[in-house]
Amino acid sequence: MKVLIVEDDPLHRSYLHEAVRAALPECDTVLEAENGHAGEVQARQSRAEHVVMDLQMSERNGIEAARTIWRERPDTKILFWSNYSDEAYVRGVARIVPEGATYGYVLKSTSDERLKLALRGVFIESQCVIDREVRGIQQKSLGTAHGLSDAEYEILVDVALGLTDKAIAQRKKLSLRSVQNRLQQLYEKLDVYDEPGNGPEGWYNLRMRAVAVALLRKVLNASALERGERELRSARGN
Query: What is the spatial distance between Cα 220 and Cα 205, in angstroms, rounded to a whole number?
Result: 18
Q: Which residue has the higher pLDDT, 195 or 160?
A: 160
Among 157, 109, 159, 100, smallest CA distance to 132 is for 109
pLDDT, tens digit, 9 for 90 and up, residues 213-224: 988 888 888 878
When pLDDT is averaged across residues 50-58 and rounded to a whole number, the result is 93
Decide if 63 contacts 55 (C-beta within 8 A). Answer: yes
2-140 sits in which CATH class? alpha beta
Q: What is the pLDDT of residue 201?
A: 64
Q: How confident is the model over 69-84, as a mean pLDDT?
A: 95
- Give me the pLDDT at residue 88, please: 83
pLDDT at residue 144 tops 60:
no
Question: What's the fold here for domain 150-235?
Answer: Arc Repressor Mutant, subunit A (1.10.10)
Q: Which of 8-17, 85-94, 105-114, 160-169 has the lowest mean pLDDT?
A: 85-94
The structural domains of the chain, with segments of one domain joined by +, span 2-140, 150-235
